[in-house]
Structures are given as C-alpha cells and as structure tokens.
C-alpha cells in the first residue's frame, strides 16, 4: 500500500477495536517498527488513506507499558474522521500515522506533584500519563479530576478503578452533570472542587485537556488559586466538536465581503467556529503543522498556539492557522 501523505509515514495494522462507552472506541494498533512517543502526545492519522484529510488523536497507550499503540476516538455524528475510524475500520485494516507530536506530556513538564483535569475525551492523554507515571515515577503524587455528563460516560472506567486501587499515590475525583451516582460529585468543575481535591494546588503542576470552554474555565480558576502560569499546561491541538453543546460566553465572528456575522463560543478555535457554521475552510492536519488552514484576521482579540508555517511578514499582516487560533473576543476576517 502506498503511503498516502508525507506527514504520515508510519503504517500500522489494527489488531482490535474495543468499545469504551456508548460513543467511544479504542483502536489497538500493531506497529512492526519502533515508534517513539511520550505519554500524552498525539499523532495525525490519514482518514480513508487520503493525503488531504488528516485528523489528530491522542495516543491513549503508554510507551513501554502498553502492548499496542492505541487511540481512543469519540464517534461524532458529523465527524468524517471519527465515523470512519469507529464504524468502518476493522481488525486487519491499515492506518497511517504521523510521528508523535505535541508538548502536552509529563515528560516535558516533570514534577513530583500533579493535578490533572479532564473532561470527556480529554481524559485520553491524562490516562496515558497517569499509567506511565505510576510505573516510572512511583513517588509522584497525582490528583485527577474527571468531568463527564453521566457516570456511563467514564472512559477507561475499569482501568481507573484498578489503577487507583493499586497505586494510592493516584487519587481520582469523578464528577457527573447528570444521573449522579455514589462515588461521583455532582455538577461541573469549581474552585471548591479544585481545593477539595488538591488543597496545595498552587504548588502543583496543573495539566488539563477537554473542550475549549472547559479548559478556559480551568485555567482561570487555577490562576486565581495561585498556580503560576509556568506550571499550567493545556492540550492545544484539540478542536472540540462539543463546543456547540457547552453553555458559555459568546463572541461575534465577522466575515466580509459581503459582511456576515456569526455567534461562536469564546475560546473556540477559528477552525471549529468556521466549520460549526458550514463555512468553507481547508484543513488537513488540524494540528498547526501543514499550514493549509491559513486565514487572515484583520481585527479582533485572539491567541495562537502554532505559527509553524507562517512567515514573520504573514504574522504581521494578521495571518493565523485557523486550527491553532483561539478566539477571545469579537473577530473580523478578511
């Protein structure tokens, strides 16, 4: 089989597919060559062996510990990549992966005390890191808060139970918004919950992954509680398809000519905002690598996490990579 994209040189075979929850599956991959990665990192995957359609997924396995290279994927109704991976790809199929990427890893942010905060599928890099930390840094103190909609949505439920039972240095707090059961706190993340789980939060390394509004709230709460900015880390590649389900502040996205206006959540990526309103945008890697989603912003408030393919002159002119641009206030596109 011919390599579909120069960005994805690693061919792997699907060994098995395991259902985690009603809408999440883990794909276990056999790799015949050495595939170096760090716990918490992600890889691009060629969808339908296409050169242009790439998606980023966390490697939910842990290096040196897991039998397979694994990715855990939530099937989204309109997600071309997630539907193909979870509904069509079968054992024996081949997948093409990029080299491992990303800075969201406990290896790159070493500490002896962590507070890890996850919501939904954002738990995949957290599990990868926790599994690795208890095996390789057994003296490390780890507190985890995992937010889900219902108890049935806890990804890796059995493994969490096993890990926390075997490793008392790993403490897990589960939170559910609906159908709360014993063992779960009700509601969403709050200052009270953070202090209850980690009274010494200000001296911990805090790492979070989840929908953009969730990470934004977690960052705000953490900084208010005294966590130094240098000790706070969030996964930046995620383009959350759950944004439209979150209730949060909204901003105005303007596009001309002719002038059109759309309301989108504060903290969403420009790419997610455009796609949520069916606006055309080229996006291949969705991880700030390929440059295909280059877009010019003429006014507004935003932050960026990757300018990898942009020149200094383009950045000066307002060009951003839509997948790596987080909208913080009203924005106008050229």
Task: Give the three-class secondary structure for 162.
Answer: helix
Q: Which helix (H) or strand (E) holds 314?
A: helix 312-316
- Where helices occur in 167-264 by DSSP H, the ranges are 191-197, 212-224
pLDDT tens sequence across 76-114: 887 889 999 999 999 999 999 989 988 899 999 999 999
Which class does domain 249-333 fall in? alpha beta
CATH topology of domain 10-97: Elongation Factor Tu (Ef-tu); domain 3 (2.40.30)
pLDDT at 49: 87
Average model confidence (pLDDT) across the chain: 91
Within its chain, how far is the Cα of 293 from the centroid? 19
pLDDT at 236: 66
To the question of pTM greater than 0.85 for the whole model, the response is no
Chain region(s) in the chain for CATH 2.40.30.10: 10-97
pLDDT tens sequence across 233-282: 998 654 433 333 333 468 899 997 678 889 888 878 899 888 878 888 88
Chain region(s) in the chain for CATH 3.10.20.30: 249-333
pLDDT tens sequence across 17-70: 999 999 999 999 999 889 999 999 998 899 998 876 878 899 999 999 999 999
- By the 10 Å C-beta count (0-12 exposed, 13-18 middle, 19+ buried), 49 is classed as middle
pLDDT tens sequence across 206-225: 999 998 889 999 999 999 99
Task: Produce one character per residue of 232-243: b if its CB has 16 or more CB atoms within 10 Å, e if not.
Answer: bbbbbbbbbbbb
pLDDT at 283: 82
Phi then psi for residue 234, to 5 deg, are -130, 150
Q: Nearest-CA neighbor of 90 among 187, 162, 16? A: 16
Rounded to whole angstroms, the Cα distance separating 13 from 11 reads 7
113-234: CATH, from 3.20.20.70, 3.30.1300.30, 3.40.50.80, 3.10.310.70: 3.40.50.80
Chain region(s) in the chain for CATH 3.40.50.80: 113-234
């Amino acid at each position: 089989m011919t390599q579909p994209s120069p960005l994805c040189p690693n061919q792997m075979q699907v060994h098995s597919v395991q259902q985690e929850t009603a809408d999440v599956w883990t794909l276990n991959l056999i790799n015949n060559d050495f595939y170096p990665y760090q716990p918490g990192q992600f890889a691009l995957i060629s969808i339908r062996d296409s050169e242009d359609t790439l998606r980023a997924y966390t490697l939910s396995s842990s290096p040196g510990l897991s039998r397979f290279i694994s990715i855990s994927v939530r099937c989204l109704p309109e997600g071309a990549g997630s539907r193909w991976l979870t509904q069509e790809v079968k054992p024996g199929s081949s997948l093409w992966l990029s080299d491992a990427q990303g800075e969201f890893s406990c290896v790159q942010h070493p500490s002896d005390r962590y507070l890890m905060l996850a919501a939904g599928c954002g738990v995949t890099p957290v599990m990868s890191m926790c599994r690795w930390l208890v095996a390789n840094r057994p003296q490390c103190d780890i507190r985890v808060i995992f937010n889900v909609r219902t108890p049935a949505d806890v990804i890796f439920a059995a493994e969490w139970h096993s890990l926390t039972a075997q490793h008392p240095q790993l403490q897990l707090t589960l939170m559910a918004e609906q159908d709360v059961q014993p063992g779960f706190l009700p509601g969403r993340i709050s200052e009270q919950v953070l202090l209850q789980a980690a009274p010494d939060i200000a001296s911990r390394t805090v790492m979070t992954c989840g929908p953009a509004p969730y990470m934004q709230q977690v960052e705000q709460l953490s900084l208010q509680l005294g966590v130094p900015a240098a000790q706070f880390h969030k996964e930046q590649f995620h383009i959350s398809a759950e944004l439209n389900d979150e209730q949060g502040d909204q901003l105005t996205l303007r596009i001309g000519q002719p002038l059109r206006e759309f309301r989108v959540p504060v903290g969403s990526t420009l790419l997610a905002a455009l796609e949520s309103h069916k606006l055309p945008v080229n996006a291949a890697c969705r991880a700030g690598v390929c440059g295909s989603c280059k877009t010019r912003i003429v006014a507004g408030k935003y932050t960026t996490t990757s300018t990898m393919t942009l020149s200094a002159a383009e950045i000066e002119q307002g060009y951003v990579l839509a997948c790596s641009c987080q909208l913080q206030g009203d924005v106008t596109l050229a």
